[in-house]
Amino acid sequence: MEAIADGKRRLIDAALKLAAARRSFAALKLREIAREADLNPNTFYRHFQDMEDLALIAVAEVSAELRPMLRSVRWAAARDNPKEVASRACEALFLYARHHPDAFVVGVCGITGPQPALRAAIRAVLDDIAAEMADDIERLELCPQLSRPLIDEFCAYVVPYLFHQCVDYIEADSAGRRRLMERSVQLCCWLLVGAAGSHPAGQRAQGRAQKAAAH
């Protein structure tokens, strides 16, 4: 990712910090962001058109860093041990959130907040992550019994769920983080089993298992 100018970086960090504390970007003022960043207010317009522009750039910055990282983790896990893809990907997401808490708090609040452009941008990032996850599951043949439409549905459900769980992970103690991690991985496994059961081949396998149990 291209290096970001120091002044721009400080303004984004200041805005995220203030927005996370208030659970909203909408109420922020230019001067308070500049004051938090220890910059002249006029510096703001060297980097951003307005507050919405700053929010969208912040979202794009997280997306540009998070998405390739998650893909790299999935591919590395598949190479080392395919059974660990879900756990290692969840761990990578939660650790990233823990190291970028303000961005994730603002993102979770912003997805249902009053700013349409910000809501759309966050949802687009989640859609992109889900689509890339589906591509990786298919290309790595992690769930060969599933059709691509079922993989897409699985990813479209799991990604927003994990995104919202990130805030709980950030705020939890070490024991709580372990429990949340275990539950998240378990949910992914359960959903995959359910998706496989809804696939014609999976339904036939379940039917054979039930018949065998009856005899």
The model's pLDDT over 163-188, given as tens digits with 9 standing for 90+, comes to: 999 999 999 999 999 999 999 999 98
Average pLDDT, the chain: 88
- Written as one letter, the residue type at 209 is A
Which residue type occupies 116?
A: P
Could you give the CA distance from residue 33 to residue 159 in angstroms, rounded to a whole number?
Answer: 31
Contacts of residue 75, defined as CB under 8 A and 6 or more positions apart, other chains included, come to 136, 140
- Which residue from 115, 1, 3, 107 is spatially nearest to 59, judged by alpha carbons? 107
- Taking only the tens place, the pLDDT of each residue in 123-165 is 999 999 999 999 999 999 999 989 999 999 999 999 999 999 9
pTM: 0.86
- Residue-wise pLDDT for 27-79, tens only, equals 889 999 999 999 999 999 999 999 999 999 999 999 999 999 999 999 999 99
Domains and their CATH numbers in the chain: 52-214 (1.10.357.10)
> Strand locations in 57-105, DSSP E?
none
